[in-house]
Copies of this chain bind each other. A is one copy, B any other.
Amino acid sequence: MRVRYQTRQREEILSYLESVNGRHVTAQEICQYFEKDGVSMGTATVYRQLERLMGEGLVQKYIIDEKSAACFAYIDRKNSCHRPACFHCKCETCGRLIHLDCKELEEIQNHMLQKHGFALDTFRTVLYGTCERCREARV
């Protein structure tokens, strides 16, 4: 069994992720935050620690926009945007990310598991489409 060390960098990244209240941030944002503070923190280290934190279930990765970098967020189950009933909807027109709470979607999760054997990962899944505002603007 591989031994894991607690390093300054690890603590700082984790504490930064907690401090932004579960907001999605990119690896670059993390680097820039520490660079501004004059704290040494290499890009590779950030990626490697994020990888490790994901493996430990403390951090979740989101691919929201295919053209830009991945986002990472500390998983806090009290935080609304990471509860199981909360789905990420991305408007393909305006680019907004909408956090949608929906009982019916939660039920579909059960349906997919029961009838199709597929356990939906709501953290990872992004529902793409067009939001109300943009659909109205188009008419």
Binary CB contact string for chain A from 108 to 139 against chain B (1 if under 8 A, 0 otherwise): 10011001111111001111111110010000
Tell me whether A117 and B135 are in contact in the complex, defined as CB-CB below 8 angstroms, given that A66-B63, A129-B125 are known contacts.
yes
Complex formed: what's the CA distance from A116 to B139 in Å?
18
Residue from B66, B117, B125 in contact with A128 in the complex, judged by beta carbons closer than 8 Å: B125
Q: Which residues of A contact B (CB under 8 A)?
A: 63, 66, 70, 89, 91-92, 98, 100, 102, 104-105, 108, 111-112, 115-121, 124-132, 135
- Can you list 30 A-B contacts (CB < 8 A)? A89-B116, A91-B118, A98-B118, A100-B112, A102-B111, A102-B112, A102-B116, A104-B108, A104-B115, A105-B108, A105-B112, A108-B108, A112-B127, A112-B129, A116-B132, A117-B135, A118-B129, A118-B131, A118-B132, A119-B130, A119-B135, A120-B127, A120-B128, A124-B128, A124-B129, A125-B125, A125-B126, A125-B127, A125-B128, A125-B129
